[in-house]
A and B are shown apart, each in its own frame.
Chain A
């Protein structure tokens, strides 16, 4: 068992699997980050991903185009986010409750549509689906270690990595980012400065819809080629955890997503290795426990800082 795990680390299988698991977590965590920064905590990532995963595979298989599929998935997810915004900003539903509702809706609605459109209840796997393509980099793909490390990953893996940089620029280098942060930190002050608080919060939710949408499309058209009911299986909650673990910072989130991706990858490897001595449940648990510890750590540090400030 150890030997087989070790050999999979050595031949970089672990890294490849880690990247596959990291991508949806990273993308949806970036979405969660933007809305969190604007003060609208989106716990509906799980539901958004499901809706996007279903929409993108439905459109993707009907049109034969992964581009249209992905776009449709993102559009559906953004639409739900606007709905969420309507209920939370306009009708003053608590944002946590709105996100909770989106999660129930995502699960139920996709099962409903699957049964109405395709007449199946468990999973839908269309034949001849064009998945989001893998990128094979010429020359590099033939170099032994570098080839496996860099080449042959899904396009969405690269989009996720680029998104990290995109979010950094968006949040810290644009006027819009300043607005986002000020709305999140002091909405009253932002309002008095003439920043349209509601519009910024709507747009932050829309951004979280975009990224959760990309993550969902990858789940059904990249990681797999099918839609399975409740296929997110907690990815949205992991993403939520990553946002906090990464201390609400794109770079931190990137590392958080790597840790969680690694934990998921090891879980799969352990589960598929016969006679494993480590119970997979405990490896699966690592991300959640790490998050709780990190939360405590951040909270304690914040408290100390406040005490220091008060004394100073």
Chain B
């Protein structure tokens, strides 16, 4: 009963934070725009104004769901990794290599193989940060930030010098992936690609993994109290390494799904911050997989809204950034949430 109350309060707190952040954005629009109502309308209604935009929201949400899940997993084990961006590149790159250079398989074998390669690529790259943390006790925040650059620069070198499509007309990209394994549109005339199905599947898998398996139990225990878990006989280092590698695998999936669904091949610098957006998603979702799904859809909605606003009014889409920042800060404010719990949680108990 008590935990139920706490969850409701948590949820209410997040809802309030979301509303406050939106209001901040509205205030900025009202103050600076010459046509505030027009701007607001296209921000809020643009994403649902036609089928194309709805599809775009789904497409934008897909990689965010994957990176959000990746970070939710690793945050739950108490590791503050900021490395999803680099793992996304590493995984996407390996997956794309398998997609471009392996020929002659039926799509039903080829697609899973490509996805597995991406997961392996992401997980192995994440393992570097994991090993540095578990064996050398190096701060994971800094190592993952640095490793992001290593991944981006290394893949950039490869795609510019070794795997560049000779017919790309100067663009740094690989030859196109076999079209049969691309994630096609769900329905004709609706731009959402099949990645959303994979993303929903991933949400279920992560949920089951975290809450219904031993691995997930140990992972959450280590996150709650590493020392307690250690005394309880859990090999904390192994758990931390596992969680970082699982996280890397999902970041890799984010990369390959974006490649197969949107780009058609590996392009240099194709992510532009999806891994960092994933941090915001995980924070909003309180590291819960179902929360990740909702948060990613909401975040994608705001992004598409900001784009339609940029086209339909005098406001640039960066207004959305102000809302994102407020959202991040308000949602992560422990003081506000502790206050809410003390004030209303007590009453509810009485």
Contacts and interface: CB of A to CB of B under 8 A. Distances in A.
A and B bind:
yes
B7 interface: no
Main secondary structure of the interface of B (DSSP, over half): helix
Given A107-B321, A121-B316, A291-B146, A98 B329 contact: yes
B328 A296 contact: no
A18 interface: no
B329 A112 contact: no
B332 to A, nearest CB: 5
A102 B326 CA distance: 10
Contact of A112 (B276, B283, B316, B332): B316
A109 interface: yes
B294 interface: no
Contacts of A300: 136
A292 B147 contact: yes
Interface in B301-346: 316, 318-322, 324-325, 328-329, 332-336, 338
Interface string B147-160: 10110011011001
B157 A282 contact: yes
Given A90-B335, A288-B147, A108 B325 contact: yes
Contacts of A92: 333-335, 338
A73 B204 CA distance: 48
A91 B333 contact: yes
B161 interface: yes
A96 interface: yes
Q: Which of A94, A98, A105, A282 has the largest number of chain B CB atoms within 10 A?
A: A105
Interface stretch (B48-56, B137-145, B188-196): B137-145
A295 B132 contact: yes
Main secondary structure of the interface of A (DSSP, over half): helix
A273 interface: no
A253 to B, nearest CB: 15
29 contacts: A43-B145, A87-B329, A91-B329, A91-B334, A91-B335, A93-B333, A94-B332, A96-B141, A104-B276, A105-B322, A107-B321, A111-B316, A112-B316, A112-B322, A116-B316, A234-B149, A240-B145, A279-B161, A282-B157, A288-B146, A288-B150, A289-B146, A289-B150, A291-B142, A291-B146, A292-B146, A296-B136, A296-B138, A299-B137
Interface of A: 41, 43, 87, 90-94, 96-98, 100-102, 104-105, 107-109, 111-112, 115-116, 121, 234, 237, 240-241, 244, 279, 281-282, 284-285, 288-289, 291-292, 295-296, 299-300, 302-303
Interface of B: 32, 80, 82, 132, 136-139, 141-143, 145-147, 149-150, 153-154, 156-157, 160-161, 276, 279, 283, 316, 318-322, 324-325, 328-329, 332-336, 338
Given A108-B320, A240-B145, 18 more contacts: A97-B328, A97-B329, A98-B329, A100-B328, A101-B325, A104-B324, A108-B321, A108-B322, A111-B316, A111-B318, A115-B318, A284-B153, A288-B146, A288-B150, A292-B138, A299-B137, A300-B136, A302-B137
